Amino acid sequence: MKSADAASPVLRAFHLLVFLGFAAGAIAGMLPELQQLFTALSHKYHCGTIPSPLGTASAIAAFLASVTLLVYLARGRSAPLWISGVVLVAFVVTLWQQSYPFSRRSTPGANLAMLEVAKQLHEAKRQQLQETGAVDTDEAAWAAALAKIEADNPGLSSPFRRRSFDVMPWRLEMIASEDLFLVDATPGTFTVFVPKDASRFTITMIGLDPEHQTVRLRDDQGEAFSLKGAYTPDTRN
Q: How far apart are CA 134 and CA 88, in angstroms?
A: 66
Q: How far apart are CA 37 and CA 47, in angstroms?
A: 11
Question: Could you read off the pLDDT of 104-121 as tens digits, one per residue?
Answer: 899 999 999 999 999 999
Q: Is the Cβ–Cβ distance between 194 and 136 less than 8 Å?
A: yes
Phi, psi of 57 (to 5 degrees): -60, -40
Q: How far apart are CA 86 and CA 57, in angstroms?
A: 12
Residue ranges with strand state E in the chain: 45-47, 160-162, 171-174, 189-193, 200-208, 214-216, 226-230
The whole-model pTM stands at: 0.82
Sign of CA dihedral 153, 154, 159, 163: positive
Summary mean pLDDT of the chain: 89
* Model pLDDT, residue 1: 38
* pLDDT beyond 90 at 76: no
Domain boundaries, the chain: 4-99, 107-235
Helix count (H) and strand count (E) of the chain? Answer: 6, 7
Question: Could you read off the pLDDT of 200-211 as tens digits, one per residue?
Answer: 999 999 999 999
